[in-house]
Amino acid sequence: MRQISVDTSAATVMVAKAPQPKVKDRRTGEIAVDKDGVTLMTVEVMFSTPDEVEILKLTVPQPGVSEDLAMGTPVALTGLVASAWENEFNGQKRHGIAFRAVAVTSLAAAASKPKAA
């Protein structure tokens, strides 16, 4: 599957929904892990550019998720990529774009530090 890097330099990004473990199977409640066995998290962010605002649902490895990511926290996204997906379930085709990041880092601590004179 081809991945396309997403430029975040002109965007303002804030947490829209606090991180949660990504569920692999809703029926069993099984939590998703990557190929190395690392737990995957889902983080919803508000991605705002001068032209539009979107809510993106990101998949991020748990070690890449900053602590204290509450709704409204400004964040930086490291290694954000988009991938097209398609599947068929019960004869219905579905498709979309999946977003994955290496890390979601809070900018709140950096913003609250006093600037050196």
Q: Under 8 Å CB-to-CB from 61, ≥6 apart: which residues?
A: 34, 38, 39, 40, 41, 102
Task: Please determine, for residue 117, whether its predicted confidence score (pLDDT) is greater than 70.
Answer: no
What six digits make up the tokens of 89?
A: 């379930």
Q: Is the pTM of this model over 0.75?
A: yes
**Residue 85 counted as domain residue:** yes
CB burial of residue 83 (10 Å; 0-12, 13-18, 19+): middle
Task: Report the percentage of the chain scoring pLDDT > 70.
Answer: 91
Give the CATH number, domain containing residue 81. Answer: 2.40.50.140
- Assigned domain for 113 exists: no
Say if 114 falls within a structural domain: no
Specify if 87 maps to a domain.
yes
Write down the residue that tokens 């068929």 correspond to.
88
Number of domains in the chain: 1
pLDDT in tens, 12-38: 999 999 999 999 988 899 999 999 999
91: domain range? 3-106
E strand or H helix at 109:
helix 108-112
